[in-house]
Amino acid sequence: MNKFTEKLAAIGSKMANQCHLQAVSYGMMIIMPLTIFGSIFQLISALPDIFPFIPKYSKAVSSAILMPYNLAFGIFGIIASVAIAYFLARGYKMNVLNAAVTSMLSFLLVSGAYDPAKNTFDGTFLGSAGIFVAIVVSLISVEITRFLDVHNIKIKMPDSIPPVVADSFNGIITLSANALLAYAVMMICKSTTGQPLPALIQQVLAPALTASESIWFCMFVQGMIALLTCIGVHGFNTLSGIILPLALANQGINAACYAAGKPATQLFTLSSFQMTGCFYWIVPVLFLLCKSERLKAVGKVSIIPAIFNINEPIQYGAPLVFNPLLAIPFVIANMVNAGIVWASMYFGFCNKAAIMVSANIPMPIFQYLVTLDWRSIIVFLVMAVVSYLVFKPFVSAYDKECLKEQKEANA
């Protein structure tokens, strides 16, 4: 068992430190504040739905309120192309500004956003629909730039030229090479298929997006994150390079549905993913009921952070890490709760999560805000009861173990 744990921890550590996955992970996290900012205006537009005494907005007022939301969600792809290129270039110790600008230009060209006939930009694939293209373009553009730098293919300037000026000239070749490649790819795609590259990639990724909507995928992801966390690896950071592109793309789809007055369609979003953590405050409560002084102390220290969904005091104070007695229910509760959330949305018991809010909002207020459905509170209560039943026997066993150690220490 120890060997398996060590191997799994080693694999998780390698994934977390793999430069491309790490760049994607960090880049996607840059988008998250943008989603919360946009969702604030979504919530303001939803106030008549939340409070019936507020009169419905007119179409003009509603459009004005949703303008910041449309802007924020409409540039997901652009921000991703800049942020991912920035972090990958930083890891390679390259010029991060040149890399980010080059990546953004390449993404805009590949997405075919500019219409020369109308002299306008089409935002269809600049938002969440363009995230996967942004990931591919940003990684490739940085690698091309790095290849040219390593092989010293650049405009050589005299030493007397200031570094800032020299860097701008050095960037001409790399920017031109990336931009021309991106433009060529866009022209080839449009001339052969009649569609821009983002539309083609969406078709290719359709099976993966469909698979991410299954209950098994949702439960597996939550289980793996919990398992990696229990062996000392930050589970979410390790897998975020894979999870966040899918979750944020689906979040954008649901947000667009809600803004258009239509029912949300996607099950696996970042908001629905975050809905499952209802047991963060259940474990401290169980600790407060324990006989062991140590667990009571951990419960007192961790109860307030847990209310705001901060679980590090429990993870490292109890601890959950490298503690089989608490790791087992932690993994089980994560997976079961993921299944409960999925089933409640799939069978129409509550709305699908369409709004993004801060993950530190106490539950079940969080569940209500992301779904705007009071039935999500019932889903929360079901998860809370299930989490209690899962954790109770293991916490009791751990309490006995800690109490025994306490008595031996006192003796």
**pLDDT(132) > 60:** yes
Interval 394-410 mean pLDDT = 85
| Residue 119 φ/ψ region, left for φ over 0, alpha for ψ in the -120 to 50 degree band, beta for the rest | left
CA nearest neighbour of 200 among 263, 268, 125, 145: 125
| pLDDT confidence band for 147 (50 / 70 / 90) | very high
| pLDDT confidence band for 146 (50 / 70 / 90) | very high
CA geometry: angle at 321 spanning 289 and 383, to 5°?
Answer: 55
**pLDDT(374) > 70:** yes
Residue/partner pairs of 8-13 with CB below 8 Å, 24 or more apart: 8/227, 8/228, 8/231, 9/228, 9/231, 9/232, 9/233, 12/228, 12/231, 12/233, 12/235, 12/238, 13/233
Q: How many CB atoms lie within 10 A of CB 47?
A: 12
Question: Do 276 and 341 contact (CB within 8 A), yes or no?
Answer: yes
Interval 28-39 mean pLDDT = 85
Would you state the pLDDT for residue 46?
Answer: 82
**pLDDT(371) > 80:** yes
Would you state the pLDDT for residue 317?
Answer: 72
CA nearest neighbour of 383 among 264, 266, 247, 282: 282
Would you state the pLDDT for residue 3?
Answer: 65
Instruction: Give whole-number Cα distances, 379 to 264, 342, 369, 374, in Å.
Output: 18, 10, 13, 9
Would you state the pLDDT for residue 164?
Answer: 64
Can you tell me the distance from the alpha carbon of 296 to that of 282, in angstroms, rounded to the nearest whole number? Answer: 13
Would you state the pLDDT for residue 16?
Answer: 61
The three-state secondary structure class of 234 is coil
DSSP letter assigned to residue 110: H
**pLDDT(221) > 80:** yes
Would you state the pLDDT for residue 83?
Answer: 94
Give 310 or 141, the one with higher predicted confidence. Answer: 141
Q: For a pLDDT cut of 70, what percent of the chain falls above it?
A: 92
Would you state the pLDDT for residue 87?
Answer: 94
**First-to-final CA distance of the chain:** 33
Can you tell me the distance from the alpha carbon of 260 to that of 252, in angstroms, rounded to the nearest whole number? Answer: 12
DSSP letter assigned to residue 361: S
Tokens (6 digits) for 149 = 């730098």
| pLDDT confidence band for 323 (50 / 70 / 90) | confident
Interval 138-160 mean pLDDT = 83
Domain boundaries, the chain: 2-204, 212-410
Interval 7-23 mean pLDDT = 72
Residue type, 162: P
Q: Is residue 345 exposed (0-12), middle (13-18) or buried (19+ Cβ within 10 Å)? A: buried
Can you tell me the distance from the alpha carbon of 362 to that of 172, in angstroms, rounded to the nearest whole number? Answer: 50
| Residue 152 φ/ψ region, left for φ over 0, alpha for ψ in the -120 to 50 degree band, beta for the rest | left
Read off the pTM: 0.79
Would you state the pLDDT for residue 333?
Answer: 92
**pLDDT(301) > 60:** yes
DSSP letter assigned to residue 355: -
